[in-house]
Amino acid sequence: MSADLAWPAQPVIHEVDTWVWLAELTRRYGRPVTLADVPAEAWDEVGLDGVDAIWLMGVWERSPAGLAIARGDDALTAAFRAALPDLRPDDVVGSPYCVRSYTVDARLGGPAGLAAARAVLADRGIRLVLDYVPNHVAPDHPWVRARPDLFIRGTSDDLARSPEAFVEVDGAVLARGRDPFFPPWPDVLQLNAFHPEFRQATVELLDRIGALCDGLRCDMAMLMLTDVFAKTWGDQAGPVPAAEFWPDVLAQVRARHPHLLFVAEAYWDLEWTLQQQGFDYCYDKRLHDRLAEGDVAGLRAHLAAGVDYQRRLLRFVENHDEPRAAATLAPIERLRAATIAIATLPGATLWHEGQFDGRRVRLPVFLGRRPAEPLDPGFRRFGAAVLAAVRAGELRAGTWRLLDVVGWPDNPSHRALLAWSWERGAGRHLVVLNLSERAAQGRVRLPWDDLRGRRWALTPLLESPVFDGPVFDGPVFDGPVFDRDGDELADPGLFVDLAPWGWHLVAVESAPSRVAERPERLG
């Protein structure tokens, strides 16, 4: 196995809740399943055609101290029961972001199990992504007693005044980890981004982790930015360093692991800043929120940003921190439209295990078991077909453009439509989406200068509910090819008439005139 499997541009990443996944495989196969011996068909289920990487979320050793805190927290217990009504004590396994040690948990297969899993994935051409939490560690992490200077320090007065924010460990008062907009987290201790020895310790740690994987998802990466950290901790952090944390750290790690991909969990409109500081991709939470809100105008404005910036965003409608998309993007037609959007936008793409099964319950990361839910095999086939079609068409390797959609004074429904194109060599593809609960009509202004004087065939890549009802029955659509006049496509543009949450994903090819079945669907 190559130690470094080269990354494609704009990769597709599938997140797997490792503990929950292995527990379900253990029940399915009637034997203990660890990362060392995952059956091939189980890898097939998460390593779908079109997936470039698996993010094994939560492989590191979880904290017994953090687990005790979680089990004693009434508010957390209520949240656990809301997600898992038949909660048992052993279902609470601790937070994967309360890390005691960056060693693969023995219950998941240990270091040897992770190495075996990485080898299997590499043989499939799939890369491995793991977590790194820069902001905090568990209260029983070895650094707490061996290197207390790496943490934000407090005083006895701080402890007396804010016992929820500080804790005493072996005579040292240490701050609990926090996000400046929320109360302190009770189960973790705050590392000091300004301490020079902490930066070097981080480089050494990432050097070790970087040898185990192909990419790292960095939790709450924006908390380590100088401005953010200074505003959060003030004088308690000590002198402000001349260099930012991430450029300093990432440059040293990349010198040792040049192919290691870094993904930033990022919020507060700090994505551009983190990109400039060295991250390959940053979470696109704004896209997620506007899709959830149905804010088409906001989406259009967001997608008008520079393509170079967009190509370094990580697009998603779901991950372990967000509600399940099947719950927030109902009805199923709306979820299909959002899936097409995420799959065909520039940037990296993140999918979440269970998303294509239509799971609706967001599971707290502390739990090692999820509830039984009715699954949707039709939507799973749809999701798999979307990924495969996008890869087969090489859409994400081409040039992307956001397109104008126009309407008429007496019919403003075009405002619900979004459209974009991909072009690579002779290959041209068009995506049009109606992101509303009402039918919408408009004309799409295509970007190609050679449309006039020819007939053009618009060939759907997938079976769409727009054509064949609400149930997706087959992996690839081989229905009508829509014949259109190039002069009309050039001006006034392609007429589309889309049902609520309808979409088109078509290849655009020069072709002899051909009469389509039911052409009225494309206008």
SS3 of 455-519: the string is EEEEEECCCCHHHHCCCCCCCCCCCCCEEEEHHHHHCCCEEEEECCCCEEEEEEEECCCCCCCCH
Give the pair of three-digit tokens for residue 30: 């009637």
Q: Give residue 170's pLDDT.
A: 86
DSSP 438: S
By C-alpha distance, which of 33, 213, 36 is closest to 113?
36
pLDDT band at 513 (very low <50, low <70, confident <90, very high): very low
Say how far apart CA 380 and CA 354 lie, in whole Å.
9
Q: What percent of the chain has pLDDT over 90?
A: 89
DSSP 402: E
pLDDT for 5-39, tens place per residue?
789 999 999 999 999 999 999 999 999 999 999 99
Give the pair of three-digit tokens for residue 381: 């086939």
Length of the chain: 523
Report whether pLDDT(515) > 60: no
**Is 311 exposed, middle or buried (CB count within 10 Å of its CB: 0-12, 13-18, 19+)?**
middle
Say how far apart CA 68 and CA 94 lie, in whole Å.
8
Average pLDDT, the chain: 92
pLDDT for 474-502, tens place per residue?
333 344 677 899 999 999 999 999 999 99
pLDDT for 363-388, tens place per residue?
999 999 999 999 999 999 999 999 99
- Beta carbons within 8 Å of 161's beta carbon, 6+ residues apart: none
Report whether pLDDT(392) > 60: yes
Strand 348-352 and strand 399-403: the pairing is unpaired
pLDDT for 334-365, tens place per residue?
999 999 999 999 999 999 999 999 999 999 99
By C-alpha distance, which of 206, 166, 172 is closest to 189?
166
Q: Give residue 480's pLDDT.
A: 62
Say how far apart CA 253 and CA 380 lie, in whole Å.
38
Q: Give residue 277's pLDDT.
A: 97
Give the pair of three-digit tokens for residue 189: 């201790």
Region for 194 from its dihedrals, namely left if φ exceeds 0, alpha if ψ lies in -120 to 50, beta otherwise: alpha
Instruction: Provide the residue type at 417 as one letter.
Output: L
Helices (H) and strands (E) in the chain, counts: 19, 23
- Beta carbons within 8 Å of 355's beta carbon, 6+ residues apart: 317, 318, 324, 325, 326, 383
User: How crowded is residue 392: how many other Cβ atoms within 10 Å of its Cβ?
Assistant: 12
Report whether pLDDT(286) > 60: yes
pTM for the full predicted model: 0.93
pLDDT for 155-197, tens place per residue?
999 999 999 999 999 889 999 999 999 999 999 999 999 999 9
Q: What percent of the chain has pLDDT over 70?
A: 93
Say how far apart CA 12 and CA 10 lie, in whole Å.
7
Residue owning tokens 């997706």? 472
Mean pLDDT, rounded, for 457-480: 53
Say how far apart CA 218 and CA 118 lie, in whole Å.
19
Say how far apart CA 48 and CA 236 lie, in whole Å.
48
In 84-193, alpha helices (H): 110-123, 142-146, 156-161
pLDDT band at 238 (very low <50, low <70, confident <90, very high): very high
Residue owning tokens 């520079």? 306
pLDDT band at 256 (very low <50, low <70, confident <90, very high): very high
Q: Give residue 511's pLDDT.
A: 73
pLDDT band at 468 (very low <50, low <70, confident <90, very high): very low
Q: Give residue 302's pLDDT.
A: 97
Q: Do 76 and 95 form a contact (C-beta atoms < 8 A)?
A: no
